[in-house]
Amino acid sequence: METTSVDVLVIGGGATGAAALYDLARRGVKALLVEQNDLTTGTSGRYHGLLHSGGRYVISDFDTAVECITENTILRRIAPFAIEDTGGMFVATSQDPEDFPARWAAACTKAGIAAEKLTPDQARAIEPALTHDIAAAYRVPDASCDSFDLNHGFITAARTLGSDAWIYQRVTGFLRDGDAVVGAELVDTRTGEQRRVHAACVLNATGPWAGVVAGLLGLDVMIRLDRGSMVAMNIRWVNTIINRLRPPSDGDILVPVGTVCVLGTTSIRTEDPADKHVEVWEVSKILQEADPVVPGVRQGRALRAWAGVRPLYEPPAELAQLETGHDVSRRFAVIDHTERDGLRGFVTVVGGKLTTCRMMAEQAVDVVCQQLGVSARCTTADEPLPVPESSPRHYHQLSHRVDRQEHGALPGALICECEVVTQPQLEAHIASYGDQPVALDDLRRDLRLGMGPCQAGFCGYRAAAILQAAHQSTPEEATRALGDFVNERFRGVRSLLYGHQLRQFTLDELIYRRTLGLDALLDLDQPQAEEVRDAAE
């Protein structure tokens, strides 16, 4: 079995883990990050894109609000490449609690959040799509943040400083030496290959999986999993982030991100850290709530819906004193298991917001360094992250790809017109997997293939054939790969199949069934087709 030694092992490739890896590297600590999927595929990636000013929390959670505005200011400074300064607005309609805006504005002042009162006319001059029924409006320093770019910035910078990140590595167990954790055992989720990593300290930054990972050591870390769904509309209904000026509840934000507008969110308790499903009623709820603020949005075209799982930390009362002893907000916690469980070399960080990921990392790394006897202080807020030049920076921004394509930087046949993915890109990307198996859904995640309005109706067939040619796979395999992909896409948009998107998907189904004959070809491989049909009826 392959064995590696590092000072610190960081588990979790979301924003907190990536920021921690970078923080450790700047303090001169050699660290390795491992992630069970690809980077930014958990809660950090399944995110609405709102870099909070803190305005949303000033009433319900003042400490978090203060953390948000502090970190908002820092992230704008250190990661401008990941942030679009859209600005934000809080808008109340006549339906919202009348006394709330004044209380809210006072709390913003106290928290240090610059909230500038606007007249309804001023608000509509900035955002003409807003309702005429504006009871109160304020401008705040919200921004739109690309969590993929931010994460990539942290990881790239950490690598430059000698740290590394491995993907598709799941922790299956820990290495113990008495009452100390001294490393972990990993399995490659794609090849099944096992590895061992020795580390003087392990940081558990696994978000909704924190309880599961701690559970491998018999530790009890209680988190409440809370699923939130979001809907992306096909155009930027607004260019400014719009928050409903009322106590936080379902469906009260609109976030312009790239070429789309993300509406969110819902809040549903779940038991599954991998829960990604979106219910039809959630989509309806989100649209119904957004419509009074931006009239007509409910009739707009919804492109995608997704859900992320918020890891909300609820310390048990008897442990609260110990666990919140690090001068942190109750909204996130750094658990030093030495104090709590008598186990050295293991630290858990849980809760928080994407906006506060750097601060969470700082406080977690402080505890890790304390255990290691490292006295270097955190410097991640001191200077900008290097812009990750060698990376697919901004790749997932459609306008960036259109610009490259139009200027000849993306030659070759255009395979996915919606998201601008070319045949040479696909071929190069398939080749980059080497002998590893690659599914069309991997190409979707990496290149955004099939993520646009048509949801793979056209590019699915093309990409399946290109993949078959590259891998010399059998027609059975290639046909099944296409079948899996189109069904996956279907599940992704099923909750949005009404109006325009229903028409679009009807065309897709027509292509799959009538033009390609995909259903009949899949049936060739499925002698049990009869039973499937019976089950459906």
Partner 1 sequence: MPPNKSVRNGLQAHTTVREDVDVIVIGAGLAGLMAAVHAVNAGARVRLIAQGWGQQMVTPGWLSVCDRAEDDVIAEVRGYAALHPEHPYGRAGDDAMVAGLESFRSAAEAVGLPYAQRKKDGHNMRLITLLGGVQRAMIAPRGIAAGDLTDHHGPLLLVGFAGWRDFYAEMTAANLRRQGIDARALAVELPDQDRWWDLWPGDLARHFDAAPFREMIARQVAPHVAGVARVGFPAVLGMAEHPHVLDDLARQIGRPVFEIPTLPASTAGVRLTDRLRRWLLRQGARVQIGHPVVRGVVEGRRCTGVEVASLGHPTLFRADQFILATGGVYNGGIQTDESGRVWEPLFDLPVVTPEVESRADWYHDTLLIERGHPIHRQTGLRVSTDLLPLDAAGEPVLDNVYVAGQLLAGFNPLTDGCAEGIALATAYKAVHTALELDA
Closest distance of CB 484 from partner 1, Å: 11
- Please tell me the distance from the alpha carbon of residue 248 to that of residue 464, in angstroms, as a whole number: 44
Closest distance of CB 175 from partner 1, Å: 42
> Hunting for tokens 């959040």 — which residue is that?
113
| Pair of tokens at residue 513 | 């069934």
- Please tell me the distance from the alpha carbon of residue 529 to that of residue 527, in angstroms, as a whole number: 5
Closest to partner 1 by CB, 200 or 415: 415
CA separation, residue 47 to residues 217, 240, 264 (Å): 30, 17, 10
Q: Which H or E element spans position 522?
A: helix 518-524
Closest to partner 1 by CB, 101 or 300: 300
Q: Give me the DSSP letters along 4-71.
A: EEEEEEEE--SHHHHHHHHHHHHTT--EEEE-SSSTT-STTTS---EE--SGGGTTT-HHHHHHHHHH
The helix/strand/coil state of 325 is: coil
In our burial notation (b when 16+ CB lie closer than 10 A, e otherwise), range 197-231 reads: bebbbbbbbbbbbbbebbeebebebebebbbbbbb
Closest to partner 1 by CB, 32 or 518: 518
Closest distance of CB 507 from partner 1, Å: 6
Closest to partner 1 by CB, 357 or 420: 420
> Hunting for tokens 């990539």 — which residue is that?
152
Q: Is the peptide bond before 265 cis (omega within 30 degrees of 0)?
A: yes
Closest distance of CB 443 from partner 1, Å: 15
Closest distance of CB 321 from partner 1, Å: 46
Closest to partner 1 by CB, 10 or 481: 481
Closest to partner 1 by CB, 389 or 537: 537
Closest to partner 1 by CB, 64 or 479: 479
Q: Which H or E element spans position 78?
A: helix 62-78
Closest distance of CB 516 from partner 1, Å: 4
- Please tell me the distance from the alpha carbon of residue 4 to that of residue 197, in angstroms, as a whole number: 5
Q: Which H or E element spans position 222?
A: none
Closest distance of CB 487 from partner 1, Å: 5
The alpha helices in 246-308, defined as continuous H runs, are 280-290
Closest to partner 1 by CB, 230 or 283: 283
In our burial notation (b when 16+ CB lie closer than 10 A, e otherwise), range 163-195 reads: bbbebbbbbeebbeeeeebbbbbbbeeeeeeeb
Positions in the binding site for partner 1 (CB under 8 A): 279-281, 283-284, 287, 298-299, 302, 411-415, 417, 422-423, 458, 461-462, 464-466, 468-469, 474-476, 478-479, 482-483, 486-487, 490-491, 494-495, 497-499, 502-503, 506-507, 509-522, 524, 529, 532-533, 536-537
> Hunting for tokens 């007249």 — which residue is that?
119
Helix count and strand count (H, E) for the chain: 18, 22
Burial (0-12, 13-18, 19+ Cβ within 10 Å), 536: exposed
| Pair of tokens at residue 166 | 């491995």
Closest distance of CB 283 from partner 1, Å: 7
* CA angle at 379 for the pair 378 and 380, rounded to the nearest 5°: 100
Closest distance of CB 337 from partner 1, Å: 42
Closest distance of CB 422 from partner 1, Å: 7
Q: Are 17 and 31 in contact (CB under 8 A)?
A: no
Closest to partner 1 by CB, 377 or 503: 503
Closest distance of CB 468 from partner 1, Å: 6
Closest distance of CB 491 from partner 1, Å: 8
| Pair of tokens at residue 312 | 């909300």
